[in-house]
Amino acid sequence: MINCIAIDDEPLALKQIINYVEKTPYLNLLSSFESALDALSYLENNVVDLMFVDINMPDLSGMDFVKSLSNTPKVIFTTAYSEHAIDGFKVDAVDYLLKPISYTDFLKAAEKARNRIGNAETEDTNIQRNDDFLFIKSEYKILRIQLSEIKYIEGMREYLRIHIENQTPIMTLLSMKKMESFLPDKAFMRVHRSYIVNLNKISTIERNRIIFDKDVYIPVSDQYKASFQKYLDENFLV
């Protein structure tokens, strides 16, 4: 299932995209927005695979919206102007749909996105797991990190910052999704779009925040709240 959102400042155009998404079995609409600014706020705490984005919107155009994102989901642009197609492909858009949009054209674009997302997932899962350590490249070095010493991992644009006990954090060029697929799920859990935590290092939880040290508060977002609560329930002594 491909989780997606739709953004268009025209209510009728937005409703059409919503109807097409709901009509397509492998698409799951998480939310829809009439403003790119509202969508920005949503993406801070939620993981999205695909976005249908109108290019011509007030305040923040669809193109500028996509360019502003650090971890960009796959994008299909919608527009009433064919001249925007070239700009769309400059930001690696999957496709662009010219309004008025037929379901046939919509489905062709959705299939392109489905193929791209499927290929990316295959690449990410071709990783040999190891429950004890991992090797990563940081600057010009290859470093071995013991998994038991990792406290949490922080996503920063295209980089990850790995926070390790009694060490300076290590930066590496890697995606959150790839790191998450490598780590053993019995010990590590993603709790936010930008955070993976070592469950064995959690000592204090306060108001849906995991406290590491005295000044590090990691939020548990709505997207991951259920799985984190399940972990707590399974280990809670009443």
Confidence of residue 129 (pLDDT cuts 50, 70, 90): low
Residues 84 and 187 in one domain: no
Residues 26 and 74 in one domain: yes
CB atoms within 10 A of CB 130: 12
Determine the Cα–Cα distance for residues 176 and 26; give it in Å rounded to an integer: 24
Q: pLDDT tens digits, residue range 35-79?
A: 999 999 899 888 899 999 999 898 888 889 998 887 789 999 998
Residues 17 and 97 in one domain: yes
Per the structure, the complete domain to which residue 80 belongs is given by 2-125
Residues 145 and 226 in one domain: yes
Confidence of residue 126 (pLDDT cuts 50, 70, 90): very low
Residues 148 and 85 in one domain: no
The predicted pLDDT at position 159 comes to 84
- Return the higher-pLDDT residue of 25 and 225: 225
Instruction: State mean pLDDT over 171-199.
Output: 90
Residues 143 and 196 in one domain: yes
The predicted pLDDT at position 83 comes to 64
Q: What is the mean pLDDT of the chain?
A: 87
The CATH code of the domain that includes 73 is 3.40.50.2300
The predicted pLDDT at position 42 comes to 92
pLDDT at 14 over 60: yes
Q: Which of 98, 125, 152 is the last residue of a domain?
A: 125
Instruction: State mean pLDDT over 150-176.
Output: 89
Instruction: State mean pLDDT over 111-123.
Output: 74
pLDDT at 216 over 70: yes
Determine the Cα–Cα distance for residues 198 and 68; give it in Å rounded to an integer: 30
Residues 198 and 113 in one domain: no
pLDDT at 120 over 80: no
The secondary structure of residue 164, as a DSSP letter, is E
Strands 2-7 and 27-33: parallel
Alpha helix ranges (H) inside the chain: 11-23, 36-43, 62-68, 85-90, 103-125, 176-182, 222-234
Residues 156 and 219 in one domain: yes
The predicted pLDDT at position 124 comes to 45
Residues 21 and 115 in one domain: yes
Determine the Cα–Cα distance for residues 119 and 112; give it in Å rounded to an integer: 11
Give the count of domains, the chain. Answer: 2
Amino acid at 41: S
pLDDT at 91 over 70: no
The owner of tokens 């940081």 is 138
Q: Which of 125, 158, 175 is the last residue of a domain?
A: 125
- Return the higher-pLDDT residue of 94 and 181: 94
Q: Which of 71, 101, 125 is the last residue of a domain?
A: 125
**Whether the bond into 100 is cis, omega within 30 of 0:** yes
Determine the Cα–Cα distance for residues 175 and 192; give it in Å rounded to an integer: 14
Residues 103 and 12 in one domain: yes
The CATH code of the domain that includes 172 is 2.40.50.1020
The predicted pLDDT at position 81 comes to 79
pLDDT at 114 over 80: yes
Residues 119 and 11 in one domain: yes
User: Which tokens belong to 54?
Assistant: 């109108």
Residues 60 and 143 in one domain: no
